[in-house]
A and B are shown apart, each in its own frame.
Chain A
Amino acid sequence: MTSLAPPAARVNASTGAGGRSGVGWMALPALLMFAAFGLVPLVGVLLLTFTTWDGIGVIHPSGLTSWRAELSDPGLLHALWVTFEIMAISWLVQTPISILIGVFLAAFKKYRGLLAVLYFLPLLLSSAAISITFKALLDPNFGVGEGLGISILKQDWLGDPKLAVGVLIFVVSWQYIPFHSLIYQGAVRQIPADMYEAAEIDGAGRVRQFFSITLPQIRYTIITSSTLMVVGSLTFFDLIYVLTGGGPGDATRALALEMYQQGFMANRMGLASVIAMILVLVGLLLAQLLRRLGGRGDESMMEGA
């Protein structure tokens, strides 16, 4: 998640340095870390985009050759499209479900505590382990459909382009909904209870309370969670690599995968670096866009409380 680091660290640095109480130096360790592991590699990659390198030999400076070659490659546009497709659909699937589960779990009830533990289990597994498991379950000939004899599960899950994208989004959601539910659970618990009491006295039902109080109150959390989802989905790699390898054909070849294939399979580090820069730019843009969507940022969430 390297593309996530720049905006976050920049916010840290500016608030730290801007502090009038002379605690700016406190940001120094973070700044150094960011420079060493964020900026330096970024500059390195930027320099690599102006070269031709096969990864093992001598690095030849070649001006804009790599940029021209990559930007005129139809594979780039396709990879961008696949990335946005996965990003948009997985956001649309994850957000409502996460909010509902978060709200549900926010109530202090014992059985819900138990459920919460169960819901969070997928968070404990690594993407690679999840992918290998799902790959085995969805095997067209030896998978769960064949094993249980359930005909509706006997689909070519990862071999059909549309189904493969669907499966990817399902697995992503399965893995990350617990995480986002956790965030929403925390946000909902911070809403003052007297708001709901007042609404109840005014005669508002459950649904009305949800739309008029809960949703507006967790507005910033939605922005945070969406930023994590959107920017995070740019870097999905292990999951896709293990599940489909970008296939069938190139149906699930997202940007991160395209970068890996150009760089480490085809030995074209220049082109791979161009894709890396595009990933960084897209990530920064999206993070900024979502920040803007969050509103002015100076109004209080407690207005009217």
Chain B
Amino acid sequence: MSQPALSRRNFLGLAVGTAGAAALAACGTSGPSGAGGSKGTASYWSLSGPPGQPIRQAAVDRFNKANPSTKIGATFFQNDAYKQKIKTALGAGQGPTMIWGWGGGGLKAYVDANQVVDLTDWLGQNAAVKQKILPSSFGAATVGGKVYALPIETVQPIVLFYNKKVFDAVGVQPPQSYGDILALIPKFNAKGIAPFSLGGQSRWTNMMWLEFLLDRQAGPDVFNNVFAGTPNAWSDPSVLEMLTKVQNLVKMNAFVKGFSSITADSNADQALLYTGKAAMMVHGSWSYGIQQANGGDFVKSGGLGWMNFPGIDGGKGDPTDTVGNPGQYLSISSKASAADQAVAKKFFSTTLVDDAEKAGWVKSGGVPVLNDSASLFVGDDAQYLKDMSAIASGAKVFAQSWDQALSPTVAETLLDNIAKLFQLQISPQQWIDSMNGVIGQ
């Protein structure tokens, strides 16, 4: 017994202290998957999970290594949990220095509440930073003519994925038009294969159908009017036409059985496609990485096909148009101290626009928001990256997803009504009336 025995008092003190520390730690980190627990000068909140989290963490590590005197601490949250957590934290004045987001209506809510810093002048002074980023990505970062966020990470158009093996087995060709899609539906149903996979419980998955059908039908003007808050903008006849088309698809069993209880978060919708239970799926370009990771050799063996959503015969919309996320967005909290804001700005102007960042996102199967990425498109994913980049840059209109573009209040009503529309619980006219009721809110 060379070591003095731990006295009872010490032991109790230790026990109480440990329990207390554990309790405090539990309070502090309820939710986030702690990233090393490093507590930095500038804090950075973002989304957890692959493929994004390791690249975000790598950027922070790179910055901290290059700038030993300052530190950025990153905390990652699950997608849906993050959306609530960030609002609550900002409302309580406990937000991070850097606020990760989707731009659009959500960003406008922060701007209206004076929560984020106006970056217009800073970008004017740092033109080199601005020139490194795709110009089309700035749209969703701009509120009232001023830029409140830096476009980061990847451009994510929504595309039509299909399972080539299933198409071959059934002996049909990929659709060239909406008419072809309608013709394919009964053929797949006859073979017991769902024509389209859909994670309907997530609701925004259903919304992508409305976005494409409306754009192909009538072009971008109708939604632009909605976005501008024009009264009764949803009353355009093309909206009724589009909603009727959606309900017809549901009635034709175009979507997999049980779609309304499938969530996109669990990736069950992607699994339906790569297991061959469904033939096609409309989904964000990020789905490629998920199918690559989860689908065995499905992507590698050339099983996955993709294309821009085809045009509607006689529709006014341009079939090169696309919709999705023109980027992800990072804002600086106006509540952060000047020193922290300076750290964040340095992070913006150095790490987030450097070559390692660009290469990291390309490697994950994404098209970076940074210019001149094409030379990096090599290897197995080259064709996919080239196609996504072509869709994004070739689009006359790259519209932002509706639920991101609109204010959270309108977006919730929109998603709610879309869910009911797919459930055939409300008629297209009821949908229009209900949506007209919240326009501009």
Contacts and interface: CB of A to CB of B under 8 A. Distances in A.
Given A56-B91, A141-B272, A250-B419, A159 B259 contact: yes
A142 B268 contact: yes
Most buried by A among B90, B113, B260: B260
Interface string A49-89: 00000111110000000000000000000000000000000
A244 B409 CA distance: 21
A264 B84 contact: yes
B257 A156 contact: yes
A245 interface: yes
Contact of B258 (A56, A58, A156, A249): A156
Interface string A85-103: 0000000000000000000
Interface in B15-72: none
Contacts of A157: 258, 261
A264 B408 CA distance: 9
Interface string A242-278: 0011011111000000000100111110000000000
B408 A247 contact: no
Contacts of B423: 161, 247-249, 251
B383 interface: no
Nearest to A265: B412
A247 B113 contact: no
A15 to B, nearest CB: 32
A55 B87 contact: yes
A244 B263 CA distance: 9
Nearest to B434: A74
Contacts of A54: 109, 112-113, 408-409
B364 interface: no
B408 A266 contact: yes
B420 A249 contact: yes
Given A56-B87, A164-B261, A141 B420 contact: no
Given A249-B423, A250-B419, A141 B87 contact: no
A141 B88 contact: no
A55 B419 contact: no
Interface string A149-162: 00000001111010
A142 B261 CA distance: 12
Nearest to B420: A249
A249 B272 CA distance: 22
B373 interface: no
Chain A: interface size category:
20 to 34
Nearest to A243: B261
B412 A247 contact: no
A268 B200 CA distance: 25
Nearest to A75: B416
A264 B201 CA distance: 18
B260 A139 contact: no
Contacts of B277: 141
A140 interface: yes
Nearest to B114: A57
The B interface is mostly helix, strand or loop, or mixed, namely helix
A264 B268 contact: no
Nearest to A248: B260
A159 B256 CA distance: 11
Given A55-B88, A139-B262, A141-B258, A247 B201 contact: yes
Given A139-B268, A250-B416, A267 B87 contact: yes
B201 A267 contact: no
Contacts of B257: 140-141, 156, 159
Interface string B79-98: 00000100110110000000
Interface string A119-157: 000000000000000000011111000000000000011
A57 B416 contact: no
Given A55-B88, A245-B201, A141 B256 contact: yes
Contact of A140 (B84, B109, B261, B412): B261
Contacts of B240: none
B408 A159 contact: no
Nearest to A146: B277
B110 interface: yes
B419 A247 contact: yes
B159 to A, nearest CB: 22
Given A261-B412, A267-B408, A58 B261 contact: no
Contacts of A158: 201, 258, 260-261
A268 B87 CA distance: 12
Contacts of A265: 408, 412
Contacts of B256: 140-141
Nearest to B89: A56
Nearest to A55: B91
Nearest to A58: B113
A77 B87 CA distance: 28
Contacts of B200: 159, 247-248
Contact of B113 (A57, A139, A140): A57
Residue of A157, A161, A249 with most chain B CB atoms under a 10 A cut-off: A249
B291 interface: no
Interface string A10-34: 0000000000000000000000000
Given A265-B412, A267-B109, 4 more contacts: A156-B258, A156-B260, A247-B200, A267-B409
Interface of B: 84, 87-88, 90-91, 109-110, 112-115, 200-201, 256-263, 268, 271-272, 277, 407-409, 411-413, 416, 419-420, 423, 425
28 contacts: A54-B109, A54-B112, A54-B113, A54-B408, A55-B87, A56-B87, A56-B90, A56-B113, A56-B115, A57-B113, A138-B261, A140-B257, A141-B258, A156-B257, A157-B258, A158-B201, A159-B258, A159-B259, A159-B262, A164-B261, A244-B261, A245-B263, A247-B261, A247-B423, A261-B412, A264-B84, A266-B412, A267-B87
Leading 8 A-B pairs by shortest Cβ distance: A140-B258, A57-B113, A158-B261, A266-B412, A249-B423, A248-B260, A159-B261, A159-B260
